[in-house]
């Protein structure tokens, strides 16, 4: 690998520390970054949120439904470093029992200086990924809904480019009387159609289970999302007290592996017009296992306001002291403008 490729690889990997800092066995980890502020406030991965918001369907196509007819959502995220992500998605009812949606998501990683194998600068370039998606869902029964999303992914890193195809398959069971939501998702099933150079990169294929429920009149929906279920062992290294004399310790216990598979969330909805989300992602916190990590590492917070014709959602997370992320969504209910 020449110096230019090395610089590029380090830069791209540095963009995704919370996703792949200590288990970076796959490429395309940006596919695990949600475009929904509500989902980001719930830990970044949540497949059970029932809120009538088109944004949540990027986690589970089985959440898409006719109640999202003629809905348009814009998303923007200020990610780590100079990374900026943005996207748009549109949903439409398809008959009495079906719905479809289409969207595009852009992942930009700022400007990087290029250099050849001799270290001579060759000019700046801006690496990027673009994902085009189409989703269809269908009501199987009055409580069960299934869906599928097809994603076409283009990556351009300096003079290198690649194409990939991925599919998400999801199903959701929702009992409105008990506010109980159960989901199962097969995420990122697919592969590269065109590779960057001489080898193929794997997509972050995953199996996910989710539960969410509120109890009685308490306006809080609790959720647990299990992900990375294709493998049990998710070890990480604990740096200890951060001194030069301390050797990092590998952590691979039963409890560590268990909690690195789970994300805990709470959605507080005192009214239909407002929500507040809070979550804890133990894997993010341990991936950021450095002596100087923030007390907020692993936690995320989101809030949203809904009015007659539109809704706005905000989310915040600080995986590390040197990495603060922020997301905003704007949802337009076009039918409210027409009728």
Cβ atoms of 263 and 297 within 8 Å: the answer is no
Give the tens place of pLDDT for each residue, 287-325. Answer: 876 655 677 888 999 999 998 888 999 999 987 777 789
Residue 331 has pLDDT above 90, yes or no: yes
Give the tens place of pLDDT for each residue, 87-115. Answer: 999 999 999 999 999 999 999 988 877 77
Residue 28 has pLDDT above 70, yes or no: yes
Average pLDDT on 150-160 reads: 90
* 120 vs 96: CA distance, rounded Å: 62
Look at 9-23, 141-155, 269-283 and tell me which has the smallest mean pLDDT: 9-23
Give the pLDDT score at 90: 97
Give the pLDDT score at 302: 96
Give the tens place of pLDDT for each residue, 185-239. Answer: 999 999 999 888 777 888 999 999 999 999 988 999 999 999 999 999 999 888 7
Average pLDDT on 131-142 reads: 97
Average pLDDT on 261-271 reads: 95
Residue 332 has pLDDT above 90, yes or no: yes
Cβ atoms of 153 and 28 within 8 Å: the answer is yes
Give the pLDDT score at 241: 61
Give the pLDDT score at 122: 72
Look at 1-5, 28-32, 297-301, 335-339 and tell me which has the smallest mean pLDDT: 1-5
* 236 vs 257: CA distance, rounded Å: 9
């Amino acid at each position: 690998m020449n110096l230019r490729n090395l610089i590029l690889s380090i830069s791209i990997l540095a963009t995704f520390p919370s996703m792949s800092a200590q288990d970076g066995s796959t490429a395309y980890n940006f596919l695990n970054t949600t475009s929904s502020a509500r989902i980001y406030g719930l830990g970044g991965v949540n497949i059970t949120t029932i809120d009538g918001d088109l944004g949540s369907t990027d986690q589970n196509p089985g959440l898409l439904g006719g109640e999202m007819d003629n809905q348009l959502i814009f998303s923007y995220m200020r990610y780590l470093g100079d990374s900026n992500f943005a996207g748009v998605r549109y949903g439409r009812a398809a008959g009495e029992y079906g719905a479809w949606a289409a969207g595009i998501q852009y992942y930009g990683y700022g400007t990087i200086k290029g250099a050849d194998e001799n270290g001579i600068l060759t000019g700046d370039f801006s690496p990027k990924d673009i994902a085009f998606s189409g989703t269809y869902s269908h009501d199987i029964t009055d409580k069960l809904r299934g869906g599928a999303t097809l994603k076409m992914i283009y990556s351009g890193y300096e003079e290198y480019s690649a194409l990939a195809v991925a599919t998400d398959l999801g199903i959701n069971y929702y009992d409105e009387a008990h506010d109980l939501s159960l989901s199962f998702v097969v995420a990122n099933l697919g592969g590269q159609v065109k590779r960057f150079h001489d080898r193929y990169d794997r997509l972050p294929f995953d199996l996910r289970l989710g539960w969410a429920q509120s109890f009685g009149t308490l306006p809080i929906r609790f959720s647990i999302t299990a992900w990375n279920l294709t493998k049990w062992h998710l070890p990480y290294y604990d740096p200890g007290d951060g001194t030069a004399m301390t050797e990092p310790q590998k952590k691979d216990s039963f409890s560590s592996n268990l909690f690195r598979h789970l994300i805990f969330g709470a959605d507080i909805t005192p009214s239909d017009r407002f929500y507040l989300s809070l979550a804890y992602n133990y894997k993010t916190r341990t991936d950021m296992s450095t002596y100087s990590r923030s007390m907020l590492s692993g936690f995320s917070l989101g809030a949203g306001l809904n009015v007659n014709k539109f809704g706005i959602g905000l989310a915040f997370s600080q995986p590390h002291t040197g990495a603060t992320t922020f997301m905003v969504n704007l949802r337009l209910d076009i039918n409210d403008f027409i009728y």
